Amino acid sequence: MRAARVGIDYEALVQEDRVHGSVYTDPAIYEEEMEKIFHRGWVYVGHTSEIPHPGDFRLRQIGRQSVIMVRDSQGQVQLLLNRCTHRANAVCQMERGNVTVFRCAYHGWTFALDGDLVGVTYADRYPSSFRKEEYGLRKVPRIGVYRGFVFGSLSPVGITLDEHLGQPVKEQIDLFVDLSPVGELDVTAGVHKYGYRANWKFQVENSMDGYHPNFTHQTFFANIQRRTGVKLTDLFNSRSVGLTRDLGNGHAMLDFRPYNRAKGTGLRVATMPTPWGQAYWEAMVNRYGKERAQEILTAGGTHMLIFPNLVLLGVQIRVIRPIRVDETEVFLYPVLLQGVPPEVNAARLRAHEAFYGPAGGGATDDLEMFERNQIGLSAQLDPWLLLARGLGQEKRDADGTLVGQITDEVTQRAIWRQWKKVMTQDVAVRRRARHGAAQQVG
């Protein structure tokens, strides 16, 4: 790992109404992001419904580190580092599957689903002091799960997942999950992947940007209006009743609920005059009561960033994976609802495909903008990016969240405030954390 440059002045680079372009282009800053944001904080890894049976696994990343999310023989979700404890070979190559053990291909050591070392080849040549129980696959030091969302932290110390998320985020996750009348998601529909040649934070910021859609997605919106009469530009203009929210700790959302209430759009599926729409509505009312069912369906999921790498967008889980300072991968998981008529899930998949799918009409617009951003940053006579929109006009809501109009840059400022807070933390904490992690033997 390259040494981080000493003395990057994050206070100067991130100001209340602007950020310096180097935060997207400087490799030294990227290295520190990996350490301080991804290797120390809470990072989203996967969803429990992806691994329903013992032996089911998914190969994931926390920052630079390869991690296996696996359900062990006791039914527990484990996060294991994909690194053989003999001489560091990656024990898992496949992205997904079901196994009874993980066997390292190099010299044949075998590990149980909970990481325990259960087989050493030609063990007779090890000294008598060798203890198999000391060489299990290392576990991610901390794992936290909320409503099936699995987060890991490579640091053994730090705030709890509960503290990291906070109540406003948990309420939004509840709205996202409780679209299922049995309160369970199904994240096995597949994954849609894309990459772009620009910094990872462009996708983070853009996911919470209510200012760009009417321009970046102009063609898509015009098509929707022509075909359905729905005028999405009404949502994303400066007179819209839609809101931006700073949920704390870098989490943020675009809040469509006031708009949906006014238009009745969130309830459209459930109130469609179809047998399946009616069946869904009745199942929701039976489970939650009419008032809460109406609240859940009006929200229509959520549109939220959970800092740093998870975005929940109505029908989709989006995971952002930094590759290099100017290269990013994004994995989209269309989310199905358990306990609903199949037509509801079919409608969710079609909605995902229409905007985000490989032949969709919208997501590629954003990727083009990210790459143009990275090109624009090469011109450095004026190195600043402006984030002043709506500054000074925010209101503090009763739940403590900071609220602005939907085209305001409240969400961007929320992200950068947290980014600066994390990036200015003492690196000594990281060194202690790494040492502590090294003591944890699987």
- Residue 109: CB minimum distance to ligand FES, A: 4
Nearer to ligand FES, 108 or 264 (CB): 108
Binding site for ligand FES (CB under 6 A): 84, 86-87, 89, 104, 106-109
Which two three-digit tokens encode residue 310?
């998870």
- Residue 107: CB minimum distance to ligand FES, A: 3
Nearer to ligand FES, 107 or 231 (CB): 107
The candidate with the shortest Cα–Cα distance to 299, out of 285, 283, 313, is: 313
- Residue 202: CB minimum distance to ligand FES, A: 38
- Residue 442: CB minimum distance to ligand FES, A: 14
Which two three-digit tokens encode residue 65?
């580190």
Nearer to ligand FES, 137 or 415 (CB): 137
Nearer to ligand FES, 108 or 436 (CB): 108
- Residue 87: CB minimum distance to ligand FES, A: 4
H-run or E-run covering 135: none
- Over the Cα atoms of the chain, what is R_g? 23
Nearer to ligand FES, 109 or 200 (CB): 109
Nearer to ligand FES, 85 or 328 (CB): 85
- Residue 58: CB minimum distance to ligand FES, A: 21
**Which region, left, alpha or beta, applies to residue 182 given φ > 0 means left and ψ of -120 to 50 means alpha?**
alpha
Nearer to ligand FES, 117 or 336 (CB): 117
Q: Would you say the C-alpha torsion 127, 131, 137, 138 has a positive or negative sign?
A: negative
Which two three-digit tokens encode residue 137?
């696959």
Backbone angles phi, psi at 48, to 5 degrees: -60, -30
The verdict on whether omega for the bond into residue 383 sits within 30 degrees of 0, i.e. cis, is no
Query: Residues 291, 243, 370, 7: what is their CA dihedral angle, to the nearest 10 degrees?
Result: -110
Q: By the 8 A CB rule, do 283 and 344 touch? A: no
- Residue 121: CB minimum distance to ligand FES, A: 7
Nearer to ligand FES, 57 or 111 (CB): 111
Report the distance separating Cα 51 and Cα 70, nearest Å: 7
Report the distance separating Cα 157 and Cα 187, nearest Å: 30
- Residue 372: CB minimum distance to ligand FES, A: 44
CA distances, 310 to each of 9, 41, 333 (Å): 27, 13, 11
**Residue bearing tokens 């999921």:** 301
**Residue bearing tokens 């993980």:** 102
Angle between helices 275-288 and 290-299 (to 10 degrees): 120
Report the distance separating Cα 438 and Cα 236, nearest Å: 49
DSSP state letter for 428: H
- Residue 117: CB minimum distance to ligand FES, A: 10
Q: By the 8 A CB rule, do 267 and 325 touch? A: no
